[in-house]
Chain A
Amino acid sequence: MITDHTLLGLATIMYLGLFFVHILYFVWQKKPLLKAVQYVLYGTVTVQTAGMLMRWALSYRLGIGHVPLSNYYESLIFFSWSISVFMICMRKRSLYPVITFITAGVSLMLMAYASLSQGVERAIQPLIPALQSNWLHIHVITCFLGYAAFAVSFICGALYFFSWGGIMPTRENLEDINYRSIIIGFSMLTSGILTGAVWAHFAWGSYWSWDPKETWSLITWIIYAVVLHLRFTGGLKGKRIAILSIVGFASVIMTYFGVNFFLAGLHSYAT
């Protein structure tokens, strides 16, 4: 029987395939391979989406129906999906093979970690009462789209320090993609924090309680707010913005993973 795990496993293999198509492109640099990259990416996202929908449907068959955005496993899958979808949405500007190569690698790692690690619970779990809210969907979706955008910003920031004739986008292009990603990421993160605050108001009786996850999301928000101010009013460009987008993403990593593993708090569903 085809289950969500079959489809998501297939998506993982397709990400691996996508990774290798990129390597072939880097070796031969032929135009048709670039087209192939695009189509394999679309195919992979389609299969991954189908996997998540299947999981959603299965949860209803188990009588505990809910959108698959409620535990660590589901969040890892959704993170990987968000990065790919972000790349597809930005395809006009940012579908450079170097960037998609790295995002495919990141998505692959997330999927592999989600499906292989001992520490990740993969079964469909019932929703605890605190998560039974319509704010769950909008909160998780906005947060992870924000994380995905910041991941792309980080990739552009890191690539800024390398050069590879013919393959690497120009520094101007990298800066442009980086800047656009930060704008989208910042808007999404803000939406995520604000929807989370409204939800917390209804669920915990306080819109802000300095829970570690809240605190780190605020730290991340401040870092990117500073980056935007430096860029807009200080006219900061180039290397420094690249470094700051790397720092910002370190904070995103802390917000998503670090808090769950190092700091105890109210957001303990995600481990």
Chain B
Amino acid sequence: MTATKSNKTGGEPVFRGVPVFRFLVSVRLTIITLSLIAGTSIVGSLVRQGASEEEYVSHYSERTYHFIKLLGFDDVYHSPWFYFLIVIFTINLLLCTFQRLRRLSAPRGRQVPELGALVSSGAGFITGPANKEEVVRRIGTSYKRERLSETTEIFEKGRFSRYGVIVIHASVLFILIGGLIGNISGFKAYLALRPGDEASAAQSRKPGQSAVVFGFTVKCTDFRVSFYPSGQPKEYASDIEILDEKGSVVKQGRIRVNEPFSYKGIYFYQSSYGRSNVYTFKEDGRTIELGDEEVAREAKVPFMVVRYAEDVHNFGPGVMVAYMDADEPKTVWFLSNVEKMRSHTVKGSKISLENIGGQYHTGLEVSRDPGVPIVLCGFIMMLIGLYVNFFTAYRRIYLAEDRDAVIVAGMASRNKEGFVEDMKKIGGGLA
């Protein structure tokens, strides 16, 4: 603004920065960047995001896949040019907001407009000096009265209405900043726990990123799910305990869908559940419980279940167990319903399958997002800003005294017809 002003007054040649600055602060740029962000989002909703190379190749031709990869369409919301758009948009928004603030704080409203023109447009009237007090009474106390000059007074109402736009724009900035903070210092991860399981880290949702360490231990003590008669899940919940490094419980609680649990800024959400099998073996009288593909390390011969079948050749459920014999992987089938096949002697130790049981595990979404309070603040600001901007109006009425007449005229930022009606009421029988 200063640059443009000096340019106007001094008649100096435009220095090179000005057109760029004007473009950066222009609504045209806002519209261009917003349209490009919308366009990007359309691409992002049509092309599958973050899938593996095989999935893309099975969906698209090789050439299309190269094109997708080249433009970053497989992850548009994290592509450099999407970040570039957001940065340009932020700069534009920031500059526009400052410009608006400057304009509003400038004493522009103090300059009295051409009242005659307002009167002829219907937003005013002329009356005799004797009626002045009656006009002031009719304008009422909801307007703030102020003397501008010897002959002119101004009545204002809803001045804050003009700040609505600024609040909305600032709220968008808050949301963007909150989002950025969450992106930089937050994480999203997933954790599957069976009752009794503990974890102190979770697998990050971001591909290629290592596990996220909590700094404490979460223990799932119980998981329960109930169903409607139709078979749909009605409610599911996990009971968890937080353990410190010494192993003592520091917090416990229940996580339900829609009711997360938090500890030290890390939130745990009930997002899913699943059912997995538990295999009970006995090795020389010792009981060993195993999940799918879990290695029995404490056994004399380490082994694992590599396959489960509900029905093996009509002999009922069975598992395929793998173990190492002189650096050679070997497999053997255990069938729980067939006496002969229930136990085998593996490298001298007798292993028997005692039971195949099912067990639920809870699926927890784990996240940390320090940007959330700022984003929420932005949400509230945006709603307030929208209300103030669209549903309240700034009105001002000027009252100019002459020797033989009083001119009353004004303007409204919104609902101009309503304002004209009100002016007619104020002037009723006086004009």
Interface residues, chain A, with chain B CB atoms under 8 Å away: 64, 125-126, 128-130, 132-133, 183, 186-187, 190-191, 194, 197-198, 201-208, 210, 212, 215-216, 218-219, 222-223, 225-226, 229-230, 233-234, 259, 263
Contact = CB atoms under 8 A, between A and B. Distances in A.
Given A132-B257, A216-B45, A222 B34 contact: yes
26 contacts: A126-B230, A129-B235, A129-B236, A129-B256, A133-B258, A187-B386, A187-B387, A190-B386, A194-B382, A201-B372, A205-B188, A205-B260, A205-B269, A205-B367, A206-B188, A206-B367, A206-B369, A215-B44, A215-B45, A216-B45, A218-B38, A219-B45, A222-B35, A222-B41, A226-B31, A226-B34
A246 to B, nearest CB: 16
Nearest to B237: A129
B389 to A, nearest CB: 9
Contact of B38 (A201, A202, A204, A222): A222
B348 interface: no
B15 interface: no
Which 5 A-B pairs give the minimum distances between C-beta atoms? A129-B257, A205-B269, A205-B365, A222-B38, A215-B45
A130 B258 contact: yes
A194 B271 CA distance: 21
A69 to B, nearest CB: 16
A191 B45 CA distance: 22
A205 B368 CA distance: 9
B41 A203 contact: no
Interface of B: 27, 30-31, 34-35, 37-38, 41-42, 44-46, 49, 77, 179, 188, 228, 230, 232-236, 256-260, 267, 269-271, 365-367, 369, 372, 375-376, 379, 382-383, 386-387, 390-391
Contacts of A194: 379, 382-383
A138 to B, nearest CB: 12
B228 A233 contact: no
Nearest to B385: A190
B267 A233 contact: no
A203 B267 CA distance: 11
Nearest to B34: A222
A256 to B, nearest CB: 14
Given A129-B235, A133-B258, A207 B228 contact: no
Nearest to B227: A126
Given A128-B232, A129-B234, A191 B383 contact: yes
Contacts of B379: 194, 197-198
Contacts of B365: 204-206
Nearest to A123: B230
A229 B44 contact: no
B391 to A, nearest CB: 8
A219 B38 contact: yes
Contacts of B188: 205-206
A264 B38 CA distance: 19
A224 B429 CA distance: 44
| Interface of A, helix, strand, loop or mixed by DSSP | helix
Contacts of A207: 372, 375
A208 B235 contact: no
A98 B295 CA distance: 74
A131 to B, nearest CB: 9
B233 A129 contact: yes
Nearest to B417: A176
Contacts of B256: 129
A119 to B, nearest CB: 19
A128 B233 contact: yes
A64 B226 CA distance: 14
A233 B27 contact: yes
A206 B379 CA distance: 15
Contacts of B258: 129-130, 132-133, 202-203
A232 to B, nearest CB: 8
Contacts of A190: 382-383, 386
B185 to A, nearest CB: 15
Contacts of A126: 228, 230, 232, 234
Given A129-B235, A201-B372, A218-B41, 10 more contacts: A126-B232, A132-B257, A197-B375, A204-B269, A205-B367, A206-B369, A210-B77, A212-B45, A215-B44, A226-B34
Contacts of A201: 372
A231 to B, nearest CB: 11
A172 to B, nearest CB: 11
A183 B390 contact: yes
Contacts of B234: 126, 129
A127 B91 CA distance: 44
B402 to A, nearest CB: 34
A230 B31 contact: yes
A224 B391 CA distance: 17
A234 B27 contact: yes
A79 B402 CA distance: 58
Contacts of A216: 41, 45
A214 to B, nearest CB: 9
B428 to A, nearest CB: 21
Contacts of B34: 222, 225-226
Determine which residue in B42, B45, B260, B365 has the highest number of CB atoms from chain A within 10 A of its CB, and name it: B45
B71 to A, nearest CB: 17
Contact of B49 (A183, A210, A259): A210
A2 B236 CA distance: 35
Nearest to A213: B45
Contact of A263 (B27, B30, B35, B45): B45
A84 to B, nearest CB: 22
Contacts of A204: 269, 271, 365
A210 B366 CA distance: 18
Nearest to B46: A263
A130 B269 CA distance: 11
Contacts of A212: 45
A201 B269 CA distance: 9
A210 B77 CA distance: 8
A229 B259 CA distance: 39
Contacts of B49: 210
A100 B189 CA distance: 51
Contact of A205 (B38, B77, B179, B271): B271
B364 to A, nearest CB: 9
Contacts of B271: 204-205
B27 A229 contact: yes
